């Protein structure tokens, strides 16, 4: 499996990143736009995600039915997602549909935003917000982000508050589109079986005429105070706990050590939290991990347990974090590294996995990283890297949110 990387920049600023894999059976393409809920003014919070939905409602030349139908005529696996910091649109197809899929992704990102479609889709967004209200793990995550990042734009919800969505106008959405979807604010990531030179030609043909500004992202100060928030919901049977504390950001060289630490402390099996909380059945789930963002990052702890075991579970989790600062054994690190390397190897075998990884990483690093580079970076993590990491990020201060009956 020889992977070859190439890149190109169109005159309008659109960057094209390609990783060719001759033994692949598919071609995967994605447009990654550097915009998300943290880039939204508060009065339009939720517009990035709503706009992502409106892309599927058609361009000036095709309607919403044709938009979905043409993807399905190619048998494409296609979708889109919005995070706090990026919005991505992607399709995986058989190689014979390379040109058509690139053309159609171009149609997708030039939405007409017709008023009638906007009004119908608003209802779908409000349904999606209601759906997440039935998912305790989502509710607690949103509350935690809002509290932990109270003075930071990362605290804004991706879906937005229901009332903001109700009040949002088509004109506001158009303005946001014009400001954030310029070609220099996005990358085209392609992977799998392809001829990169012809991908460049196709990109020039379909996206070469796009224009637009490059917005700047604000990097606010993070509020760092200890908070313990309790939410009650009589309908629930279990208590859901989530806590957050500062960690390295997406560009930080310590991010690889943070991944290893996440696995040592919080993997679903064989981690320190597992042995202390899940193995003796004190909690049903206990997880520790790492959320890197642009310029800022967090470690999180997540626990699901019975209401009566809540305090005990939180105390145990705190104890494990404190103990881990006295040192992590080399054999623990080796096991964690091996699991992470397997996971990278498996996702790297599918063009869709590489397309996402290359496109997503570029928005943060402005740099291509091969699978081997990431594997080597993980392999070099040792006890000292973990001590240095915990010296810099000592799990304090910490925001805790609980949701239960």
Partner 1 sequence: MKGVRSAAMQILVPAGSMHDLPTQRGMSNVISEMTLRGAGTRDSRELTNALDLLGLQRSMSVAVYHARYSAAAVASKVLDSIPIYADIMQRPHMIADDFDASRDLAEQSLVGLDDDPRTKSLIYLREKHWPAPEGLNTMGTAEGLASITLPTALEAFSNTYHAGDTIIALAGDVKIDDVVQRVGSEFESWKTGPKISTSAVSNGTGVHFIEQPSEQTHIAIAYPTFPEMTDEYYIARVSAEVLSGGMSGRLFTEVREKRGLCYSVGVSYGSLRGRASMLGYAGTSNERAQATLDCFLGELRRFSDGVTQAELDRAKIGLKASVVMSGESTSARAGAIASDFFFLGRPRPLEEITAMIDLVNLDDTNTFLKANPAGPFTIVVLGPKPLEITASI
Is residue 138 part of the contact set for partner 1 (CB under 8 A)?
no
Axis-axis angle for helices 115-133, 170-180 (nearest 10) = 90
Is residue 160 part of the contact set for partner 1 (CB under 8 A)?
no
- Restricting to residues 23-52, name those near partner 1 by CB under 8 A: 23-26
- Omega of the bond leading into 397 within 30 degrees of 0 (cis): yes
Whether the CB-CB separation of 293 and 154 falls below 8 Å is answered with yes
Axis-axis angle for helices 170-180, 47-55 (nearest 10) = 90
Is residue 382 part of the contact set for partner 1 (CB under 8 A)?
no
Residue 211's closest CA among 175, 170, 179?
A: 179
Is residue 211 part of the contact set for partner 1 (CB under 8 A)?
no
Residue 218's closest CA among 172, 275, 156?
A: 156
Q: Least CB distance from residue 10 to partner 1, whole Å?
A: 29
Distance CA 94, CA 77 (A): 10
Q: Least CB distance from residue 290 to partner 1, whole Å?
A: 18
Around 43, how many Cα atoms within 13 Å sit in the side-chain half-sphere? 4
What is the three-state SS of 219-244? CCCCCCCCEEEEEECCCCCCEEEEEE
Q: Least CB distance from residue 14 to partner 1, whole Å?
A: 26
Q: Least CB distance from residue 349 to partner 1, whole Å?
A: 5
- Residue 221 vs 234, nearer CB to partner 1: 234
Stated as kind and residue range, the H or E segment containing 71 is helix 64-73
Site string for partner 1, 238-257 (x = CB under 8 A): x-------------------
Whether the CB-CB separation of 401 and 147 falls below 8 Å is answered with yes
Distance CA 167, CA 177 (A): 17
Is residue 1 part of the contact set for partner 1 (CB under 8 A)?
yes
- Residue 148 vs 337, nearer CB to partner 1: 337
- Restricting to residues 169-208, name those near partner 1 by CB under 8 A: none
- Residue 69 vs 392, nearer CB to partner 1: 69
Count Cβ neighbours within 10 Å for each residue of 122-148 and write b for 16 or more, e otherwise. Answer: beebeeebeebeeebeebbbbbbbbbb
By CB under 8 A, name the one of 51, 54, 74, 243 that touches partner 1: 74
Residue 22's closest CA among 190, 194, 198?
A: 194
Q: Least CB distance from residue 325 to partner 1, whole Å?
A: 22
Kindly give, in sequence order, each residue whose CB lies less than 8 Å from that of residue 276, ignoring residues fewer than 6 positions away. 282, 286, 316, 317, 319, 320
By CB under 8 A, name the one of 59, 84, 92, 385 that touches partner 1: 92
- Residue 120 vs 211, nearer CB to partner 1: 120
Strands 87-93 and 27-33 turn out to be antiparallel
Is residue 231 part of the contact set for partner 1 (CB under 8 A)?
no
Q: Least CB distance from residue 229 to partner 1, whole Å?
A: 19
- Both tokens of 170, joined, read 């088509």
- Restricting to residues 262-291, name those near partner 1 by CB under 8 A: 269-270, 275, 278-281, 284
Q: Least CB distance from residue 278 to partner 1, whole Å?
A: 7
Q: How many residues bind partner 1 (CB under 8 A)?
A: 68
- Residue 101 vs 250, nearer CB to partner 1: 101
Q: Least CB distance from residue 50 to partner 1, whole Å?
A: 12
By CB under 8 A, name the one of 64, 176, 256, 290 that touches partner 1: 64
Is residue 100 part of the contact set for partner 1 (CB under 8 A)?
no
Q: Which residues pair with 244 in a beta bridge?
A: 300, 399
- Residue 123 vs 209, nearer CB to partner 1: 123
Site of interaction with partner 1 (CB under 8 A): 1, 21, 23-26, 56, 64-65, 68-69, 71-78, 92-94, 120-124, 126-128, 130-131, 133-136, 235-238, 269-270, 275, 278-281, 284, 304-306, 331, 334-343, 345-346, 349-352
């Amino acid at each position: 499996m020889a992977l070859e990387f190439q890149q190109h920049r169109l005159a309008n600023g659109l960057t094209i990143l390609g990783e060719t894999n001759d033994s692949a059976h598919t071609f995967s393409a994605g447009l990654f736009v550097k915009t998300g809920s943290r880039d939204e003014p508060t009065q339009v919070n939720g517009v990035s995600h709503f706009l992502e939905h409106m892309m599927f409602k058609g361009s000036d030349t095709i309607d919403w039915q044709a938009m979905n139908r043409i993807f399905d005529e190619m048998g494409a696996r296609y979708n889109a997602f919005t995070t706090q910091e990026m919005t991505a649109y992607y399709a995986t197809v058989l190689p014979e549909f390379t040109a058509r899929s690139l053309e159609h992704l171009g149609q997708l990102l030039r939405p007409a935003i017709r008023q009638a479609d906007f009004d119908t889709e608003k209802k779908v967004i409000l349904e999606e917000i209601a759906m997440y209200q039935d998912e305790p793990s989502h509710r607690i995550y949103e509350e935690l982000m809002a509290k932990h990042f109270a003075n930071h734009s990362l605290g804004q919800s991706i879906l937005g508050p229901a009332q903001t969505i109700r009040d949002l106008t088509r004109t506001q959405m158009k303005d946001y589109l014009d400001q954030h979807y310029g070609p220099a604010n996005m990358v085209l990531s392609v992977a799998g079986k392809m001829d990169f030179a012809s991908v460049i030609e196709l990109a020039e043909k379909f996206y070469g005429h796009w224009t637009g500004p490059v917005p700047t992202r604000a990097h606010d100060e993070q509020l760092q105070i200890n908070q313990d928030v309790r939410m009650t919901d009589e309908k629930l049977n279990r208590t859901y706990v989530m806590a957050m504390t500062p960690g390295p950001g997406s560009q930080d060289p310590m991010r690889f050590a943070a991944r290893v630490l996440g696995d040592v402390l919080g993997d679903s099996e064989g981690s320190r939290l597992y042995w202390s909380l899940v193995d003796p059945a004190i909690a049903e789930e206990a997880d520790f991990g790492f959320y890197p963002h642009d310029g800022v990052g967090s470690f999180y702890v997540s626990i699901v347990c019975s209401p009566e075991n809540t305090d005990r579970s939180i105390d145990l989790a705190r104890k494990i974090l404190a103990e881990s600062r006295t040192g992590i054994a080399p054999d623990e690190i080796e096991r964690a590294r091996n699991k992470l390397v397997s996971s990278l190897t498996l996702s790297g075998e599918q063009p869709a996995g590489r397309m996402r990884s290359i496109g997503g990483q570029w928005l943060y690093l402005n740099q291509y990283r091969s699978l081997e580079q990431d594997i080597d970076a993980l392999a070099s993590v040792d006890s000292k890297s973990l001590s240095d990491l915990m010296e810099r990020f000592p799990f304090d201060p910490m925001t805790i949110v609980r949701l239960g009956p």
